[in-house]
Amino acid sequence: MKLLVTGGAGFIGSNFIRHILNKYPDYHITNLDKLTYAGNLDNLKDIDGRPNYRFLRGDICDAKTVSEAVQGVDAIVNFAAETHVDRSILEPGSFIQTDIYGTYVLLEAVKAHGIQRYIQISTDEVYGSIEQGSFTEASPVMPSSPYSASKAGSDMLVHSYWKTFHLPVIITRSSNNYGPYQYPEKLIPLFITNVLEDRPLPLYGDGLNVRDWIYVTDNCAAIDLVLHRGKEGEVYNIGGGNERTNIEITEIILRELGKPKDLIKRIKDRPGHDRRYSIDSSRLVSLGFEPQYGFEEAMQNTVRWYRENEWWWKKVKSEDFKRFYKKAYGEVEW
């Protein structure tokens, strides 16, 4: 199979490329990535140079670039997106452009070039918050932030191309991912690297917001399964079955690194902060999916990776990161 992976220099995309090339050595992957602040070719240093992998720098919003990138490919897996809620509150325009218009450009390429399968990588955040129970794929989307709204919009666009043009599309909606190579604006890598530098941990509100966590390797295996065995036109929730409050996550990180709780800095809650995410993954399980990593083991692996790879995250915590940090957590000293 020949795959076009968009956003493959980002966190989940780079882990997915590594997963596919290691599992299917006869597959060929083209990685199209704009290399924005979160796109990092260091994420794929061990892959670069393989004869069945090539990198193209480009924007999914550029129809000419996309048309060139899809030549000869069998399937597209679209990871390319702006993904951070805090940034979407500060700068929503880029989210609408990339997540919705970029998806439109890719769908038009699928239609024009007869691509056999298109996988849209989405998020459980499109459903909004739920106090009890779990969202299914049939639940209405009720996004709370510009980020989740942009992903919900792109999901609806994908669905419309299935209904109108009968394109071979599938949507995956995963819960919160964690693991190696995650840009340190997100909770787990931010707090791990801040602890390693003895910096404060900016914890929103009371810290009791609940997220379901899935190790990125398990999510990549689930996307692989959907790519090969998923039903066209369907949505598949990908949950880890590991619901934890943000304060629990924070305390696990402090415990793993042997640091005191006084590093926690309570800050004002962000606008529209969803209280709890929870998704039902029964449809995916019916395809044969089962997570391979327990939460405690995977968290230990994650903490260890950041501790052993300072060369990666210290470069990533660049001037752009520091500017964003001050905007988002202004009351916390950098």
Q: How does pLDDT run across 209-236, given as a tens digit for each residue? A: 999 999 999 999 999 999 999 999 999 9
Q: Are strands 176-178 and 210-215 parallel, antiparallel or unpaired?
A: parallel
For position 329, what pLDDT does the model report? Answer: 86
Q: How many CB atoms lie within 10 A of CB 163?
A: 10
- The CA distance from 43 to 228, in Å, is 25
Residue 17 forms part of a structural domain: yes
- The CA distance from 43 to 180, in Å, is 9
Q: How many CB atoms lie within 10 A of CB 176?
A: 21
- The tokens describing 49, both together, are 């140079």
Q: Which residues are catalytic?
A: 124-125, 147
Angle between helices 102-113 and 146-165 (to 10 degrees): 20
**94 contacts 82 by C-beta, under 8 angstroms:** yes
**54 contacts 21 by C-beta, under 8 angstroms:** no
pTM: 0.96
- The CA distance from 112 to 161, in Å, is 12
User: What separation in angstroms does the CA of 10 have from each of 36, 43, 160, 225, 245?
Assistant: 9, 7, 27, 20, 25
Strands (DSSP E) found in the chain: 2-6, 28-33, 53-57, 75-78, 117-123, 169-174, 176-178, 201-204, 210-215, 235-238, 243-245, 264-267
For position 322, what pLDDT does the model report? Answer: 84
For position 327, what pLDDT does the model report? Answer: 85
Residue 313 forms part of a structural domain: no
Continuous segment of H or E residues that includes residue 190? helix 187-196
Q: Which residues of the chain have pLDDT under 50?
A: none
Which among 99, 121, 83 is positioned nearest to 238, based on CA atoms? 121
Angle between helices 246-257 and 187-196 (to 10 degrees): 30
For position 328, what pLDDT does the model report? Answer: 85
Q: How many CB atoms lie within 10 A of CB 166?
A: 11
Residue 109 forms part of a structural domain: yes
Adjacent-strand bridge partners of 92: none
Residue 139 forms part of a structural domain: yes
The residue type of 241 is: G
For position 334, what pLDDT does the model report? Answer: 65
Residue 142 forms part of a structural domain: yes
Residue 64 forms part of a structural domain: yes
Residue 103 forms part of a structural domain: yes
Residue 69 forms part of a structural domain: yes
- The tokens describing 196, both together, are 């390693």
Range of the domain at 152: 2-178+215-238
Which among 117, 136, 126, 35 is positioned nearest to 78, based on CA atoms? 117
- What's the sign of the alpha-carbon dihedral 169, 153, 216, 105? positive
**146 contacts 88 by C-beta, under 8 angstroms:** yes
The residue type of 296 is: E
For position 331, what pLDDT does the model report? Answer: 66
Number of domains into which the chain is organized = 1
**90 contacts 61 by C-beta, under 8 angstroms:** no
| CATH code, domain carrying 168 | 3.40.50.720
